[in-house]
């Protein structure tokens, strides 16, 4: 199948990044969000990020202008129905994703492929609620999308080979690398990454080390580019907690029990960089550990 038009549902951090790389690769992109303010903010973010690429000579000014012209913002979800490929990139809550797919179904073209950028939720279960489980799969980008090279492609139990091959061709055209994952909770990257972050929070919770010493230990002792608590703040503590809950519920193993301190931070609204506070306080000139 020749994919030419891509619909992206959700204009947040992941959605605007997906729209960015799709437009640069030559796809016509329709970016949707329930908030017109979020759409305006997304376009501004994409423009700034592309300007940075121009300044670093990653792309030319003409390539940027052409890519920006390929992106249109849509407040009405049904306008995405004519797209060849739709990537849902809403918040990591299954009921919200299901509502989006339910709303899209009456407006979809027969050939449209539906995908989700979910980082942990069952693709098979999401697909089962649609009229096209064979044309449904997981299309999981890493954050930040324009920088990270990996895309996880996750087949549900009913996903057809043509659907997988079409999405693989898109990843190739983006200049990224695909990793094929089976449809088990959190797939590959987050199945490994999130328990490590959760264990770092337990290490903090139990007083083994403070925020700074834990992050410094993993950066200098394991050569990680970011410490696990710094990374959790970057991802969003609510997202980390949601993925740990999916792992715990889906695999029924106590080793995936979310740390109570992670739950407490989320309850406080301390979600990391996006809220101004998490394991670090970002409201000043320099991030300051909160514990």
Q: One of 20, 32, 92, 140 is an active-site residue; which one?
A: 140
Residues 72 and 25: their CA atoms lie apart, in Å, by 15
Question: CB-based contacts of 54: which residues, under 8 Å, 6+ apart?
Answer: 60, 61, 64
Beta strand pairing status for 71-74 and 28-32?
A: parallel
Q: Dmax of the chain from CA atoms?
A: 56
| 254 backbone dihedrals φ, ψ, rounded to 5° | -65, -15
Q: One of 16, 32, 89, 190 is an active-site residue; which one?
A: 190
Question: H/E element holding 205?
Answer: helix 189-205
In the block, residue with structure tokens 């990391």: 272
* Catalytic residue status for 107: no
Exposure string over 87-96, b if 16+ CB within 10 A, otherwise e: bbbbebebee
Residues 121 and 243: their CA atoms lie apart, in Å, by 8
Residues 18 and 287: their CA atoms lie apart, in Å, by 28
Q: One of 119, 120, 122, 198 is an active-site residue; which one?
A: 119
Residues 18 and 86: their CA atoms lie apart, in Å, by 11
* Catalytic residue status for 49: no
* Catalytic residue status for 224: no
Beta-bridge partner residues of 179: 152
Q: Is the peptide bond before 144 cis (omega within 30 degrees of 0)?
A: yes
Residues 236 and 63: their CA atoms lie apart, in Å, by 32
- Per-residue tokens: 148: 């990270």
* Catalytic residue status for 152: yes
Beta-bridge partner residues of 55: none
> Which residues are identified as catalytic?
119, 140, 152, 190
């Amino acid at each position: 199948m020749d994919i030419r038009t891509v619909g992206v549902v959700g204009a947040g951090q992941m959605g605007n990044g997906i729209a960015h790389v799709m437009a640069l690769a030559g796809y016509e992109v329709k970016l949707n969000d329930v908030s017109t303010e979020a759409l305006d903010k997304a376009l501004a973010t994409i423009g700034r990020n592309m300007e940075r690429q121009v300044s670093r000579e990653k792309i030319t000014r003409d390539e940027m202008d052409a890519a920006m012209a390929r992106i249109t913002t849509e407040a009405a979800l049904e306008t995405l129905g004519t797209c060849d490929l739709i990537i849902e990139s809403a918040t990591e809550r299954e009921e919200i994703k299901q509502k989006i797919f339910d709303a899209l179904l009456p407006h979809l073209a027969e050939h449209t492929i539906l995908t989700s950028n979910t980082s942990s939720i069952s693709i098979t279960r999401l697909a089962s609620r649609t009229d096209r489980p064979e044309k449904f799969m997981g299309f999981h980008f890493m954050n930040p999308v324009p920088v990270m090279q990996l895309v996880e492609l996750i087949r549900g139990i009913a996903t057809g080979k043509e659907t997988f091959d079409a999405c693989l061709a898109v990843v190739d055209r983006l200049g990224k690398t695909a990793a094929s994952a089976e449809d088990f909770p959190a797939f590959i990257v987050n199945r490994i990454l999130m328990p490590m972050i959760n264990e770092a929070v337990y290490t903090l919770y139990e007083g083994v080390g403070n925020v700074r010493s834990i992050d410094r230990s993993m950066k200098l002792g394991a050569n990680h580019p970011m410490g696990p608590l710094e990374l959790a703040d970057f991802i969003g503590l609510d997202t980390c907690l949601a993925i740990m809950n999916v792992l715990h519920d889906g695999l029924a193993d106590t080793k995936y029990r979310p740390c109570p301190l992670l739950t407490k931070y989320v309850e406080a609204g301390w979600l990391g960089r996006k809220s101004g506070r998490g394991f670090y306080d970002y409201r000043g000139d320099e991030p300051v550990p909160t514990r």
